[in-house]
Structures are given as structure tokens and as C-alpha cells.
A and B are shown apart, each in its own frame.
Chain A
Amino acid sequence: EAGVVQSPRYKIIEKKQPVAFWCNPISGHNTLYWYRQNLGQGPELLIRYENEEAVDDSQLPKDRFSAERLKGVDSTLKIQPAELGDSAVYLCASQGGNTGELFFGEGSRLTVL
């Protein structure tokens, strides 16, 4: 069974440029999360989806961040415009089944110059 797939793995951009990250969750997992992980820190929740509905986006900086999960499967996270402080690893995780275990992708490392 394929795991959570994220792309791109690495992205380097100039500040004020836009960037987008894509996530394909494990098949059948209805719950999808985007986390941000700063260097040397634990992941911090940005947004949670139940199917196509964003049920918790309270930690998403809505002035520059947006996310969508069309058809309740793949998801994209966009930053426009990017700032220096956005440099981090953006992790996608999906959840499903009886255990409720979260499965993480390998992350997308963003560097803003």
C-alpha cells in the first residue's frame, strides 16, 4: 500500500513569490492534515480536512496561506506571497481506519530567500 505522497520534496524561492505543495493521502483516508515543522521543533497543525471540508483552519495564516481538498482526496497548500519566516518543512498526514493512526508524508522543505 502506498503511503502519503508529497511534492515537491524541496523548493527554493525568493520572498514574495508564490509556492504550492501537493499531497496525495493514503487511499480511503478521509481525514487529512497539513502541519508545519520549523527546524528543531515539533509539527504544528495548520489545517485539518474531513473529506473535502476544512473543519479546523484556526492556525492557518489566512492572509497568505490557502488550502483546498477538491473531491476529498488530494490536497494543495498554497502560500502567496511567501515570507522569509515561512521557511520550514510542510508535512501532510492522513488518518483513517479503526486505529486512528496518523501517517505522515516525507514533507516538502521550503526555503525562502
Chain B
Amino acid sequence: QQQVKQSPQSLIVQKGGISIINCAYENTAFDYFPWYQQFPGKGPALLIAIRPDVSEKKEGRFTISFNKSAKQFSLHIMDSQPGDSATYFCAASREGSARQLTFGSGTQLTVLP
């Protein structure tokens, strides 16, 4: 059972553009929604995370938008840079599970110079 569905699978954006990656979840018990960034040959690293008590969280050029009723959340990368080229994973977990994450399938982002 795929509990977190992520789209698109790949994304190509021009430098300075906005990158948008979407995720949908099924388990209403999820209450923590992080985004991880992974460069080739490296492990995933936490980028930004949100809890369902807020609808948006912004850190620098990265913003998470959260829609609890639709069970969807998205990552927006403003002013995308070539250095942002990486694979992005959304994830979700529920309280009491030591943040045991269920990951989406990933989005490979390429930012063209």
C-alpha cells in the first residue's frame, strides 16, 4: 500500500523559476510532513518540515503548503538554482512512532542554468 504518493517523477525548471512538487497521503493519523533532499551518492537530508496545525511554512526559498482537508502538501522552491538540482522526497509519519517515516517515490529536479 503506497501511503504517500508523489508527483511529478521528474521536473525541469529554468534558473530563477519556481519548482513545485506535490504529495498526497492516505493515513489521517499522519501528523508530521518533512521534505528530504538527496544528491547523487549521498543520503537524504532534511530540508523543511511541517505539522498540520499550520497551512504554510517558509524557510528561505523553500515553502511547504499544507491542505489538511485534501490530504495534500507541496514543496515550492522559489528562484530555483542549478545547485537545487537533486532528488526530493516527501515523507510522513505519525505521533508515537518515533518519526518512523513513510517516503514518497521521489522527484528528480533539474534546474537549467
Residue numbers of A with Cβ under 8 A of B are: 4, 31, 33, 40-45, 48, 50, 56, 91, 93, 95, 100-102, 104-107
A91 touches B43 (CB 8 A): yes
B103 touches A42 (CB 8 A): yes
Among A43, A45, A56, A95, residue most surrounded by chain B Cβ atoms (within 10 Å): A43
Task: List chain A residues, Cβ under 8 A from B89.
Answer: 42-43
Residue numbers of B with Cβ under 8 A of A are: 4, 6, 32, 41-46, 89, 91, 98-106
B100 touches A48 (CB 8 A): yes
List 6 tightest A-B contacts by C-beta distance, closest first.
A104-B43, A42-B103, A100-B99, A42-B89, A106-B43, A104-B44
Q: In the complex, A44→B45 CA distance in Å?
A: 15
Task: List chain B residues, Cβ under 8 A from A44.
Answer: 103
A106 touches B42 (CB 8 A): yes
Out of B32, B45, B106, name the residue touching A104 (CB < 8 Å).
B45
Among A41, A42, A95, residue most surrounded by chain B Cβ atoms (within 10 Å): A42
Q: In the complex, A106→B43 CA distance in Å?
A: 4
Give, as a whole number of angstroms, the nearest-CB distance from A22 to chain B: 15
Give, as a whole number of angstroms, the nearest-CB distance from A50 to chain B: 7
Among A33, A56, A91, A102, residue most surrounded by chain B Cβ atoms (within 10 Å): A102
Out of A31, A42, A48, name the residue touching B106 (CB < 8 Å).
A42
Out of B46, B98, B102, name the residue touching A31 (CB < 8 Å).
B98
Out of A50, A105, A106, name the residue touching B98 (CB < 8 Å).
A50
Closest residue of A by beta carbon distance from B49: A101
Task: List chain B residues, Cβ under 8 A from A101.
Answer: 46, 99
A4 touches B98 (CB 8 A): no
Known A42-B103, A42-B106, A45-B101; further 11 A-B contacts with Cβ < 8 A: A31-B98, A41-B105, A41-B106, A42-B4, A42-B91, A42-B105, A43-B44, A91-B43, A100-B32, A102-B101, A107-B42
